[in-house]
Amino acid sequence: MHPLADGGYYLHGNGVDFTQVNAAGEIKKSPWAWEGNYNVRLKTVFGVSDTGACIFAFLPRFYTDEEEALLGTDEEIRYQYYYVDEQGERRLLQLHGDNYTPKEHFERFAFSPDGRLYGATERHVCHIDLDTEEVELLFETQDMILEFAFVEDTMVAISRSQSYLYNTTSNLLLEANTVLNEFLASHQSGSTVLAVGNGTDTVLQFEGQTLESTDTDSKVLYIGCRTGLYRYIWNGSIIEQIADGQMLTLGNSQYSPIAMQVLGNGEFRVLFSRNHMVEMYYDETIPAKPSKELTVYSLKENSRVRYAGQLFQKQNPDVLVIYETGMDSDNAVSKEEALRNLNTRLLAGEGPDVLVLDDLDIEQYAEKGILKQLDDFFLPYKEEGTLYQNIVEGMRMTDTGKIYAAPLNVFVPVYLSETKYLDGQTMLADLVAGATLARGEHPDGAILFAPPIRKIC
């Protein structure tokens, strides 16, 4: 999605028509067939201008003799580039430059508001002259650039942990922005999207929270990531959270944000992976933060746990589900240190409400009285057939005969064979006997195949 200033947007992708959606929601597809482009097998990287011009990288259906000779070498041409202007005129680009080589592939494209084209390779940000097809290396980056934004005459390019500011008028790399860099370094989990708005935009805010004042002429950089929606008044001193990711689709680990658009009046449009688009708006009748909290902890990030928490919160809007991880990807905490921190909290009576026992000793925590007995809790679910009774009963502690935990998921091996090798087997010894019989009748080759089938419990 490429957002437009009037609230409309362009949609593009592999195997779909180039489509414009205006502010009223009316759809207009491009008059040219994108899949009919010269030698295009698979599009990979897109860039769209405000006027509807587009560039994309692609893998070709076939190579020339010269290109084919380079395959598998250090000079291999992996991507080629195609440009389509506003009128639908198309051409294959022959990118070149004094310090540019075809093996330096572009992984991101961005058009500035005035139509200039920029691109990011693995270690460089470049300007691409569409008239001469010349590539000019502007500056080097430590990591690959993931997102661009243009604030007045400044191009903002961000990687996973760092921002780069480049003045497109004076063509100079500016000093590092410590506010942005500190934010990015502490919010490395998942994708990050940027959008630019004005100081007149109405934004969401927490109850009782004082936000930095905004002049109507100020530009605002909005940042969306897994932890929430943020705003940064350009050249300001802080980045403020204006909506918690737990309360938005931004916090849904099943989707990754791809593009964001400021619609004004406190409304935002976000395109997510898996063709999922949402519009967010501020409703003053709904508390910005629920009155109740439920804390869930796991040693390592678990997408199923995070998603389950989001579903629970959606069904129970008065409860804020807080998901904590001891070994988050944003820090370098070891397993031993994470366990010490958890045990300190548990001993102080400040532990989580729900504890995911990944790589933790269930019996040890049960013996210390930290875990709640769950027999009565599981009983109605077992009677309804929601949970597999044999699996839950298998978690009963040997010494106490009580149940303190149940698996989030189990793996059931399924064995495929002739009936005579598996018929009537109920124990591991029966499986061994069947395998011995099969080997006797089939002395050569494989006799056993056990694909795991995962069942959620």
In this prediction, residues 81-102 reach a mean pLDDT of: 88
CA atoms within 13 A on the CB side of 58: 24
pLDDT, position 90:
84
What CA–CA distance (Å, rounded) separates 111 from 3? 12
- Which are the contacts of 372, defined by CB distance < 8 A and separation ≥ 6? 404
Tens of pLDDT, residue by residue over 34-64, are 555 667 777 888 999 999 899 998 888 787 7
Tens of pLDDT, residue by residue over 213-259, are 555 568 899 999 988 899 999 988 899 988 888 778 887 777 889 99
At 367, list the tokens: 């013996």
Q: Quick one: which H or E segment has residue 441?
A: helix 428-441
**pTM, rounded to two decimals:** 0.71
Query: In DSSP terms, which residues pair with 96 in a beta bridge?
Result: 134
- Cβ pair 279, 263 in contact under 8 A: yes
Q: Quick one: which H or E segment has residue 247?
A: none
What CA–CA distance (Å, rounded) separates 243 from 270? 14
The residue whose two tokens read 């509807």 is 52
Neighbours of 168 (CB within 10 A): 18
Ordered by where they begin, the domains of the chain are: 1-140 (2.40.10.500), 154-287 (no CATH), 292-406 (3.40.190.10), 411-456 (no CATH)
| Confidence bin at 146 (pLDDT 50/70/90) | very high
Strands (E), 281-388: 292-298, 319-325, 354-356
225 class by beta-carbon count within 10 Å (0-12 exposed, 13-18 middle, 19+ buried): buried
pLDDT, position 205:
47
Question: How far out from the chain centre does Cα 307 lie?
Answer: 13
What CA–CA distance (Å, rounded) separates 243 from 237? 19
Mode of pairing for the β-strands spanning 108-111 and 163-167? unpaired
pLDDT, position 348:
87
Tens of pLDDT, residue by residue over 175-223, are 999 999 999 988 877 789 999 988 666 554 444 455 555 555 688 999 9
**Planar angle of CA 185, 191, 193, nearest 5 degrees:** 90
Tens of pLDDT, residue by residue over 394-438, are 888 867 788 888 887 777 777 777 888 888 877 888 888 888 888
Q: Quick one: which H or E segment has residue 151?
A: strand 147-151
Query: In DSSP terms, which residues pair with 456 in a beta bridge?
Result: 409
Tens of pLDDT, residue by residue over 7-28, are 999 988 766 678 889 888 888 8
CA atoms within 13 A on the CB side of 193: 23
CA distances from 404 to 167, 312, 359, 395 (A): 60, 21, 16, 8
